[in-house]
Amino acid sequence: MPAYVIVNTRVSDTTRIQTYRDLAEQSVKQFGGHYLVRGGRLRVLEGSYHPERMVLVEFPTLDLAEAWYASEAYGEAKQAREGIAEFDMVLVEGLPL
């Protein structure tokens, strides 16, 4: 079953965040993932949750998504965003296709 990483990002340095994005994208590919949403227009339809910038990444399995998050490659990306961005990140398993 696929798994999805859902992220709300708040970026304070739009120039330096590019290093994070490049490193994160490389690490996602290493674990068979791909981006479905990376920013773009958003609108809250209901509720009090007001995200700033949403990212949605699909992985082939929950295990691969967990391995990606714990990987050295993604750890390097996380270090690159320290002090310039805050993330809310959720991992959820999808439905069988």
Any idea where the domains of the chain sit in the sequence?
Answer: 3-93
Task: List, for residues 9-46, the tens digit of each pLDDT value.
Answer: 999 999 999 999 999 999 999 999 999 999 999 999 99
Question: What rounded mean pLDDT belongs to the chain?
Answer: 96
- Report pLDDT for 77: 97
CATH 3.30.70.100 holds for 3-93 = yes
Tell me, yes or no, if the pTM score tops 0.85. Answer: yes
pLDDT at 6 over 90: yes
Q: What percent of the chain has pLDDT over 70?
A: 99
Per-residue pLDDT, averaged over 74-87, amounts to 96
Question: If you search the block for the tokens 């998050």, which residue do you land on?
Answer: 69
